[in-house]
Structure 1
């Protein structure tokens, strides 16, 4: 396993982070425990979750993932071995979260954190992330920005002020952003430095062979400001494994079970996926491992968040850490990207 600094902190995190958003929906508690043990055996020390999980979000399953992780810590008692990250939900159409009006204000963040700590059976979080911006902007598959002059959002100053209090109380060690834009990232950093508030140490955004939009405005910020990317959806909902090509829908796979996951399933994304899978096979590589190894190798990536629904998948994904892509493979990836850049942002 490789380890990398988490921003400017004294924490080192594994270059692969264990994702958890299927636990409580596609995976049982017992299966989740098995995944955690397998990841730990592979020297992973970083686990990411969210109050909203599992996905797809439903009132019936809300907070179940955190509760599973808390039960794991209760059983195994190894909380100190993990860098534990969770997230607070922002505004959206989820009536089951805080009376349908979760915002990044003092009341909501405080309530969300207290709930997460209780469910996770811990006194503190190593990393607490804002799951998405409070304001209306381009995230969750929206590439272009459309300004809404009527948007009334919680000021970033208020958000940072309450996070500062929670850090001082010892309930949070560090804060991070997620699904954030270049403007938002720089604004958070500027205000933190101006007021002495906590400085974001990471940004969790989508990044994969079908969506490299992070490179356009955020990669330079990530490197120069030491706010590295925690890359989510590195396999584009499993699409880059090639298992959905030619219309295939494997039993129990995410796109088979949930029609809502269409972000990486448009015609141009399907065509690009076929090219990436062909490239991998021409070089004797597993397509999923090639896609993961590319993400992990990028200089602005702190950790690559991988998830799986069975131990075989997880083991193969974990093994991608040992794959070093040749110059020829990298050139092939770049050639495909030039022909079809960001087919599924």
Structure 2
């Protein structure tokens, strides 16, 4: 396993990060434990979760993912072996069951959310605490066509950073990260942090995969120049790039089979592009999932690639992507497909 510096910190995280958002919904605690054990054995030291998980979010399963991770730490006593990341939810997104749905990145909500996460995770600190999505109305979760809301009441970014700084000083969190953020938001957070002495964001967790390379347009340069690297989520586009949904197939218990809300990568353009990527992989004797994951991991602006699985078999295949070095011919094929159908999914 390769290890990469997290921002400008003294932490080195594994190039693959263990994603957890199915734990407590599609995966039992025992299955989650098996995934953690296998990932650790492969050299992964980085695990990412969120107060909102598992997905889809619903009151009956709320926060069970963090509880599962906390139970692992308690039973194994290996908290110090892990770089742990979690997130505070933002407003909207149909989650009225979290803090009565009035979710803000203000003092009250940050302290409440963080303390609750620490309790569930059974730990005294979180290494990377991320704002799951912006409080303001902007382009994230596949939204296109920016529409400005001049009168929207939002927590000043200054207040958010100030409170996070207090939590760092208190030892509850070590570093701060962004998620589903825009170029403007990322640079504004960085500028405020540097000018006011507040915690400087060390990472940004946004979607990035063969069907959605929009991160390359406005954020890749920021990630490299500002050392605020990408933690890539959805590297397989909800499993589409694995090829298991080819020709309209819907395997039992797959996320796209179970939950209609995950349609972001299922539009006709994405389906057509996916078929071309899957065919390219098979033409070169590659596993489609591993080709897609290897492409993400090797990007210079990526700090860590967040892999998730609902079975040990899937996890094993995902882990195997790290050892795959894509040839110039394969990379040229990927670029040809991308040029013909750039970013078919937002």
Shorter-normalised TM range: over 0.9
1:165-198 deviation per Cα after TM superposition (whole angstroms, max 9, x unaligned):
0000000000000000000000000000010000
Provide structure 2 residue ranges, at least 5 long, that are not aligned to the other structure. none
| 1:246-285 correspondence to structure 2 within 5 Å | 246-285=247-286
Residue in structure 2 matched with residue 7 of structure 1 by the alignment: 7
| 1:189-338 correspondence to structure 2 within 5 Å | 189-338=190-339
Residue in structure 1 matched with residue 50 of structure 2 by the alignment: 50
- 1:74 aligned to 2:71? no
Distance 1:61 1:111 in 2: 19
- 1:343 aligned to 2:344? yes
SS in 2 for 1:221: helix
Residue in structure 1 matched with residue 64 of structure 2 by the alignment: 64
Shift of 1:225: 0.1
| 1:95-174 correspondence to structure 2 within 5 Å | 95-174=96-175
Distance 1:72 1:123 in 2: 15
- Which consecutive segments of 4 or more residues in structure 1 shift more than 2 A? none
SS in 1 for 2:335: helix
Distance 1:227 1:13 in 2: 13
Shift of 1:143: 3.0
Distance 2:51 2:145 in 1: 28
1:4-43 deviation per Cα after TM superposition (whole angstroms, max 9, x unaligned):
0000000000000000000000000000000000000000
1:72-126 deviation per Cα after TM superposition (whole angstroms, max 9, x unaligned):
0011000000000000001113110101111100000000000000000100000
1:176-223 deviation per Cα after TM superposition (whole angstroms, max 9, x unaligned):
000000000000000000100000000000000000000000000000
Shift of 1:148: 1.5
Residue in structure 2 matched with residue 40 of structure 1 by the alignment: 40
SS in 1 for 2:322: helix
SS in 2 for 1:60: helix
Distance 2:145 2:222 in 1: 19
User: Normalization by structure 2: what TM-score?
Assistant: 0.99
Distance 2:72 2:111 in 1: 24
Distance 2:154 2:339 in 1: 37
Shift of 1:147: 1.0
Residue in structure 2 matched with residue 29 of structure 1 by the alignment: 29
Cα RMSD, aligned residues only: 0.5
Distance 1:179 1:285 in 2: 31
Distance 1:254 1:247 in 2: 14
Shift of 1:144: 2.8
SS in 2 for 1:8: coil
Provide structure 1 residue ranges, at least 5 long, that are not aligned to the other structure. none
1:250-279 deviation per Cα after TM superposition (whole angstroms, max 9, x unaligned):
001001000111000000000000000000
Distance 2:196 2:52 in 1: 30
Distance 1:61 1:121 in 2: 18
